[in-house]
């Protein structure tokens, strides 16, 4: 394939687009790979689509290699199956819903668990047909609240989604392991670093779940890892639960005047000033902060929730959201306070909380708030707090919740040491769905004894368009994009380093054609009246892995072969250049 | 690629699906290529998706070969560009519209003229950048009133749509010709017969337009052709206009009692009985029938329209619709008659019609109703008709309209002889859009004199999923599908013609693997406990072009190679079978 810069549908830009916050977005637009077409919707230009199709091909080849079979579903689907699974409402505002000309409800599928389940139910009926692994590479739609960062978070994107069907839990484990191995092979081929982290399964339902995160500061996912191999999405981190504390000799709780202490800082300062303790100063960790939120359930009802956590930690919005899913977390407003007169803002304490309390508000606490722990917390009166309030003696929460932020240095739940916090781009996600969808949609097969059993499923996704962004993000440099071989839009970028010298164009053209004849994809900068400097800048921006310059060296009978990444340059005799360049390309 | 029937995700059916009216639909479902997923939405199963991807590959290769460049747009688009072009409303009920979470109007794109225009405007600014040919292969959405016939008329389908951009009309002609040639090459490679017919451009706007129709009785498009090379979509046929007729010696018009003659047949019978003419009997062609319809315009207004045509022809709904597009034709109801008291149902005549008449209803006549023609028609009184009403003397219509049905034997407008009527499947469509979209969206470039000129465009489509149906439709036989090589899901179908003999499975397996190693795609029926008869029936149904049977012949050291289409069978020595089979495959 020979692409000529003179006719290629591309415009490189010298300036960063105004809305681009991250390098992949900036560079993919500047190098003419993508253009914004809609909120959360990008058009692939020819160079971009070549990269996209390379990534798609690698994903497909690895799925085929593992023995998965490719199918393809429509995107526009009727409401019924999603109603049956509950996702029609559980997906909330993230689902694009529409009516057809007859007023029938449809959706644009965010993923296809329901449809795959129904298809297998339609075709298969026996344990002999299982395990089955089927996949598609398909356009998905999600009405993201905040589409952002170019290809990282789109409303319309391409995903490879596969599904496994097994008759037993052991079978599901094997199917899950096979996908995990295929994902490792895929991301290795794509040249993408990844960390496999434990994850929550969210709206998908199901049990075991891991994410493949590409560690990168522009990523939207926070994860933790320990020196000892523990790794988890922040949402999935389980707090190590301390042992109960003996409290036989604890003093009784006592309420004190603490005027003008509506915040933890003011409270700690006043406590140290007026109620100093013998052993050490009061700290935020001694206080019990009670945070109120409102849960909006998919059925439209709203429910207040109180979260009690040590005052040295904030509520982590994403961790909380993951816990309450499919409800969504909304702020607790002034109107909500007015409607709940038992709550004294700034001085809320456990006595006013709990399903059996005057407020009746469900009260969940951080797992660190175990029996016997003593807290300084609100007394439910303006300007007053209660000291030495002992959990299990003076108050009993309705349960615990994993909603507190994770801090660097927190201990890993498996005892493998302190946690380090990092950010990553989610490039893959594997789920053990279990029997949730098969039960909802009644997918059963006959086992070897002729008995009907419910099938157990897994669901596995790779963000294909997002992987393009992740690769760009992890490989670019100051000068521009810098694609790994196999993903790049071309193997070789031949630059005719002249604006007008016909001899240079002639040699460059011949060389480009010879490389193409040898089976390589070549981008040839054949533009007239464009200076070598501009051509070099464009070549660096576009990021094809090998740049061959035909120019001044011709007088000495050489062309320059340059590695885009290392910038290593070698002069190669122009006679036989195509063969030696081809030979020097790895793979 | 080795596909094993034992694990392939497929179920062949012995019974036709209840909703399948045409062979391709019936057989694609029965052979396990597709399954219905929604109204007008089908899921591709593994065999079907392999055929789809083969067709897609051929289409892509021919587009690349002609020098078109591949891009890819989102499907979910904002309303604005389609509002600007007028298509947001012109598309009527056929457009899927939806709102996002912020209430912003979006659509699912039926085609992408607007977006391509805006993209070129975004990137290009000079005549030097043109001509430009860009294309995508992409999922399209249309809210069809009657999705039908399996893959023939879907609400979600895959189309290759390309667009040309030129600075001059001559340039557009060249771009159009290049696409026409590429389409010919594409359909030739796909093994699809086609007729290139003149067409209307409909909602697309623009001037010259041709359709590639695959002649087939299950097709939805009617077309005509003459022995002398004329071919046109029925909507596009122009009626040869007769010369005016002298009427100096015509008798004056006279109204007669014609009781109980509300239909043409009753009127002709009565005229022959009571008002016989000297030269010949009255016939339906002597009467002028006036048909009323209501036009619903995209802006919501309704407009009555009267169509006058010789009584031996009916109004052709599709021809009429093509003429009034983007308005849609609706019936003229009893309520409409009540609202227009000047109209006497069954006896409507020209005197009551026309913009200047008492009714004020626009009155368009068939082109055959030329000046001087004499008509027997309604007198606008119940039970009365007018004789010898001369066009141009006694009435003057508001204009003409091409709404009358075409009859076999009508003369071609180019004088190339009588027309033959046929049906076809639209597999491709090429349009000269001209400057409609460029003007609406302000796509201008600088010409060689530095002057801004509006770009002229073409738009060119191939229905990729529909082509799969058309190929199935044109190649199947009684026993099942019968794919052309290059499109088939596999090159060879190896049948182990036994349910249990291990020696047969061993040889078949080795042969299948050798064929795969030689670069062929092989479907291997390795099923145990399935009889040879069932396997043969499945092989015929699935329709791979070459069927290799490993079975009884083994005793004589041969396997049977059978051509699926001709049923020609050859015994080939089992030693070296892979090589000789490979050699025998054309291409």
| Interface predicted TM-score (ipTM) | 0.88
On chain B, the residues whose CB falls within 8 A of the CB of A42 are 74
> What is the rounded distance in angstroms from the CA atom of residue B476 to the CA atom of residue B23?
8
> What is the rounded distance in angstroms from the CA atom of residue B92 to the CA atom of residue A556?
68
pLDDT the model gives residue A207: 74
Q: Pick the closest to residue A241 from A403, A108, A369 (CA basis).
A: A369
Which candidate from A38, A98, A100 shows the least CB-CB separation from B78?
Answer: A38
Judged against a pLDDT cut of 90, whether residue A559 lies above it is answered with yes
Q: In the beta sheet, which residues pair with residue B292?
A: B306
Spatial CB neighbours of B242, under 8 Å, sequence gap ≥ 6: B368, B370, B373
- Residue A431, classed as helix, strand or coil, is strand
- Output DSSP code: residue A221: E
Share of chain A above pLDDT 90, in %: 81
> What is the rounded distance in angstroms from the CA atom of residue A333 to the CA atom of residue B491?
67
Task: Give the chain A residue nearest B165 (alpha carbons).
Answer: A9
- Asked if the Cβ–Cβ distance from B52 to A69 is below 8 Å, we say no
On chain A, the residues whose CB falls within 8 A of the CB of B106 are 38
- Asked if the Cβ–Cβ distance from A98 to B100 is below 8 Å, we say no
B157–chain A Cβ distance below 8 A for any pair? no
On chain B, the residues whose CB falls within 8 A of the CB of A143 are 100-101
- Residue B308, classed as helix, strand or coil, is strand
Radius of gyration for chain B, computed over Cα atoms and rounded to the nearest angstrom: 30
Task: Identify whether the C-beta of residue B432 lies closer than 8 Å to the C-beta of residue B208.
Answer: yes
Task: Identify whether the C-beta of residue B532 lies closer than 8 Å to the C-beta of residue B12.
Answer: no
Spell out a b/e string for B276-306, using b for 16 or more CB atoms within 10 Å of the CB, else e.
eeeeeebeeebbbbbbbbbbbebeeeeebbb
Query: What residue ranges in B435-502 does DSSP mark as E strands?
Result: 444-446, 452-454, 456-463, 492-496
B37–chain A Cβ distance below 8 A for any pair? yes
Residue identified by tokens 């043109």 is B130
- Asked if the Cβ–Cβ distance from A101 to B119 is below 8 Å, we say no
- Asked if the Cβ–Cβ distance from A43 to B119 is below 8 Å, we say yes
pLDDT the model gives residue B204: 45
**Shortest Cα distance, chain A CAs vs residue B104, angstroms:** 10
Which candidate from A49, A76, A123 shows the least CB-CB separation from B9?
Answer: A123
pLDDT the model gives residue A4: 97
Read off φ and ψ for residue A208, nearest 5 degrees.
-70, 145
- Asked if the Cβ–Cβ distance from A41 to B77 is below 8 Å, we say yes
pLDDT the model gives residue A107: 96
Task: Identify whether the C-beta of residue B53 lies closer than 8 Å to the C-beta of residue B154.
Answer: no
A100–chain B Cβ distance below 8 A for any pair? yes
Q: Determine if the peptide bond prior to A28 is cis (ω within 30°).
A: no
> What is the rounded distance in angstroms from the CA atom of residue A307 to the CA atom of residue A284?
16
Q: Pairing relation of β-strands A302-310 and A287-296? A: antiparallel
B71–chain A Cβ distance below 8 A for any pair? yes
H helices of A76-235, in order, are: 80-85, 87-90, 113-123, 169-190
Q: Pairing relation of β-strands B302-310 and B362-365? A: parallel
pLDDT in tens, A306-354: 999 999 999 999 999 989 988 889 999 999 999 999 899 989 999 999 9
Which candidate from B49, B98, B104 shows the least CB-CB separation from A70?
Answer: B49
What tens-digit pLDDT sequence spans chain B (587 residues)? 999 999 999 999 988 888 888 999 999 999 999 999 998 999 999 999 999 999 999 999 999 999 999 999 999 999 999 999 988 988 888 999 999 999 999 999 999 999 999 999 999 999 999 999 999 999 999 998 888 788 888 899 999 999 999 999 999 999 999 999 999 999 999 999 999 998 875 544 457 899 999 999 988 888 999 988 888 988 888 888 999 999 998 899 999 999 988 889 998 999 999 998 888 999 999 999 999 999 998 888 999 999 999 999 999 999 999 899 888 899 999 999 999 988 998 899 999 999 999 899 999 999 999 999 999 999 999 999 999 999 999 999 999 999 999 999 999 888 889 999 999 999 999 999 999 899 999 999 999 999 999 999 999 999 999 999 999 999 999 999 999 999 999 999 999 998 889 999 999 999 999 999 999 999 999 999 999 999 999 999 999 999 999 999 999 999 999 999 999 999 999 999 999 999 888 75
On chain A, the residues whose CB falls within 8 A of the CB of B160 are none
Which candidate from B46, B70, B101 shows the least CB-CB separation from A143?
Answer: B101
> What is the rounded distance in angstroms from the CA atom of residue B524 to the CA atom of residue B538?
12
On chain B, the residues whose CB falls within 8 A of the CB of A97 are 98
Task: Identify whether the C-beta of residue A191 lies closer than 8 Å to the C-beta of residue A475.
Answer: yes
> What is the rounded distance in angstroms from the CA atom of residue B456 to the CA atom of residue B454?
7
B335–chain A Cβ distance below 8 A for any pair? no
- Residue B170: both structure tokens together: 């001559």
**Shortest Cα distance, chain A CAs vs residue B140, angstroms:** 10
- Asked if the Cβ–Cβ distance from A69 to B9 is below 8 Å, we say yes
Mean pLDDT of chain A: 93
Q: What angle do CA A255, A260, A265 make, to 5 degrees?
A: 90
Helix B46-66 / helix B464-475 crossing angle, nearest 10 deg: 110
Q: Determine if the peptide bond prior to B194 is cis (ω within 30°).
A: no
**Shortest Cα distance, chain B CAs vs residue A118, angstroms:** 9
**Shortest Cα distance, chain A CAs vs residue B315, angstroms:** 27
> What is the rounded distance in angstroms from the CA atom of residue A34 to the CA atom of residue A405?
37
Q: Virtual CA dihedral for B118, B123, B127, B129, nearest 10 degrees?
A: -120
> What is the rounded distance in angstroms from the CA atom of residue B373 to the CA atom of residue B363?
17
pLDDT in tens, A402-458: 999 999 999 988 888 999 999 999 999 999 999 989 999 999 999 999 999 999 999
Top residue of B71, B122, B530 to mutate, by most chain A CBs within 10 Å, is B71
- Count Cα neighbours of B539 within 13 Å in the Cβ-side half-sphere: 32
**Shortest Cα distance, chain A CAs vs residue B334, angstroms:** 25
- Distance, first Cα to last Cα, chain A: 18
> What is the rounded distance in angstroms from the CA atom of residue B253 to the CA atom of residue A78?
61
Which candidate from A38, A96, A124 shows the least CB-CB separation from B77?
Answer: A38
B76–chain A Cβ distance below 8 A for any pair? yes
Interface of B with A in 191-230 (CB under 8 A): none
pLDDT in tens, A135-193: 999 999 999 888 878 888 889 999 999 999 999 999 999 999 999 999 999 999 999 99
Task: Give the chain B residue nearest A156 (alpha carbons).
Answer: B74
On chain A, the residues whose CB falls within 8 A of the CB of B119 are 35, 37, 43
- Asked if the Cβ–Cβ distance from B69 to A77 is below 8 Å, we say no
Q: Virtual CA dihedral for B325, B328, B329, B331, nearest 10 degrees?
A: -170
B5–chain A Cβ distance below 8 A for any pair? no
- Residue A12, classed as helix, strand or coil, is coil
Helix B577-584 / helix B502-517 crossing angle, nearest 10 deg: 50
pLDDT the model gives residue B587: 57
Collect contacts of B477-481 with beta carbons under 8 A, ≥24 apart. Answer: B477/B565, B479/B537, B479/B540, B479/B541, B480/B27, B480/B30, B480/B31, B480/B540, B480/B541, B480/B542, B480/B543, B481/B27, B481/B28, B481/B31, B481/B33, B481/B541, B481/B542, B481/B543
On chain A, the residues whose CB falls within 8 A of the CB of B78 are 38-39
Other Cβ atoms closer than 10 A to A45: 26
Structural domains for chain A: 2-237+421-473 (3.30.930.10), 254-400 (3.90.960.10), 492-584 (3.40.50.800)
- Residue A509, classed as helix, strand or coil, is helix
pLDDT the model gives residue B300: 86
pLDDT the model gives residue A162: 97
**Shortest Cα distance, chain B CAs vs residue A187, angstroms:** 23
Q: What is the DSSP string of B254-297?
A: EEEE-TT--SHHHHHHHHHHHS--SSS---GGGEEEEEEEEEE-
- Asked if the Cβ–Cβ distance from B76 to A145 is below 8 Å, we say no
Which candidate from A8, A32, A44 shows the least CB-CB separation from B72?
Answer: A44
On chain A, the residues whose CB falls within 8 A of the CB of B113 are none
A414–chain B Cβ distance below 8 A for any pair? no
- Asked if the Cβ–Cβ distance from B43 to A119 is below 8 Å, we say yes
Judged against a pLDDT cut of 90, whether residue A277 lies above it is answered with no
Task: Identify whether the C-beta of residue B406 lies closer than 8 Å to the C-beta of residue B86.
Answer: no
A57–chain B Cβ distance below 8 A for any pair? no
- Asked if the Cβ–Cβ distance from A132 to B9 is below 8 Å, we say yes
Q: In the beta sheet, which residues pair with residue B421?
A: B224
Task: Identify whether the C-beta of residue B100 lies closer than 8 Å to the C-beta of residue A76.
Answer: no
Judged against a pLDDT cut of 50, whether residue A203 lies above it is answered with no
On chain B, the residues whose CB falls within 8 A of the CB of A10 are 123
**A-B Cβ pairs (cutoff 8 Å, strict):** 139
């Amino acid at each position: 394939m020979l692409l000529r810069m003179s006719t290629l549908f591309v415009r490189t830009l010298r300036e960063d687009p105004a809305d681009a916050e991250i390098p992949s977005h900036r560079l993919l637009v500047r190098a003419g790979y993508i253009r914004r077409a809609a909120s959360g919707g990008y058009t692939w230009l020819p160079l971009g689509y070549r990269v996209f199709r390379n990534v798609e091909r690698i994903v497909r080849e690895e799925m085929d290699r593992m023995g998965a079979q490719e199918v393809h579903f429509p995107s526009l689907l009727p409401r019924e199956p999603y109603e049956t699974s509950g996702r029609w409402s559980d997906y909330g505002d993230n689902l694009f819903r529409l009516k057809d000309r007859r007023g029938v409800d449809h959706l644009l599928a965010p993923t296809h668990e329901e449809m795959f389940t129904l298809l297998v139910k339609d075709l298969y009926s026996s344990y002999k047909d299982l395990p089955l692994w089927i996949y598609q590479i398909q356009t998905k739609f999600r009405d993201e609240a905040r589409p952002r960062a170019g290809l990282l978070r789109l409303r319309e994107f391409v995903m490879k989604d596969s599904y496994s069907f097994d008759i037993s839990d052991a079978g599901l484990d094997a199917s899950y392991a096979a996908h995990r191995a295929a994902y490792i092979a895929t991301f290795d081929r794509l040249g993408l670093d990844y960390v496999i982290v434990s994850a929550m399964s969210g709206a998908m339902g199901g049990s075991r779940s891991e994410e493949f995160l590409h560690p990168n500061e522009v990523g939207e996912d926070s994860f933790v890892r320990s020196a000892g191999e523990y790794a988890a999405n922040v949402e999935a981190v389980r707090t190590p639960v301390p042992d109960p504390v003996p409290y036989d000799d604890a003093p009784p709780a006592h309420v004190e005047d603490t005027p003008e202490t509506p915040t933890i800082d003011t409270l700690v300062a006043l406590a140290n000033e007026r109620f100093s303790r013998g052993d050490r100063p009061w700290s935020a960790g001694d206080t019990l902060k009670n945070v109120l939120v409102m849960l909006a359930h998919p059925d439209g009802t709203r429910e207040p929730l109180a979260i009690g956590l040590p005052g040295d930690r904030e509520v982590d919005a994403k961790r909380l959201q993951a816990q309450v899913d499919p409800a969504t977390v909304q702020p607790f407003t002034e109107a909500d306070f007015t409607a709940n007169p038992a709550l004294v803002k700034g001085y809320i304490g456990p006595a006013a909380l709990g399903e059996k309390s005057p407020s009746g508000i469900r009260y969940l606490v951080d797992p660190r708030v175990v029996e016997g722990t003593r807290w300084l917390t609100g007394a439910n009166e303006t300007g007053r707090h209660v000291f030495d309030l002992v959990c299990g003696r003076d108050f009993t929460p309705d349960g615990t919740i994993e909603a507190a932020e994770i801090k660097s240095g927190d201990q890993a739940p498996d005892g493998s040491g302190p946690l380090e916090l990092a950010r990553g781009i989610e490039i893959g996600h594997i789920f053990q769905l279990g029997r949730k969808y098969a039960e909802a949609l009644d997918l059963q097969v006959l086992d070897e004894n002729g008995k009907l059993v419910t099938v157990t499923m897994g669901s596995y996704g790779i963000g294909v368009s997002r992987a393009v962004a992740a690769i760009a993000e992890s490989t670019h440099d100051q000068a521009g994009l810098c694609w790994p071989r196999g993903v790049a839009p071309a193997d070789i970028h031949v630059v005719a380093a002249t604006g007008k010298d016909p001899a240079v164009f002639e040699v460059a053209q011949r060389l480009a054609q010879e490389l193409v004849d040898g089976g390589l994809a070549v981008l040839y900068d054949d533009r007239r009246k464009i200076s070598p400097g501009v051509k070099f800048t464009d070549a660096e921006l576009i990021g094809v892995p090998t740049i061959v310059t035909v120019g001044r060296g011709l007088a000495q009978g050489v062309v320059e072969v340059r590695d885009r990444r290392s910038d290593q340059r070698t002069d190669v005799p122009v006679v036989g250049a195509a063969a030696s360049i081809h030979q020097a390309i790895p793979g």
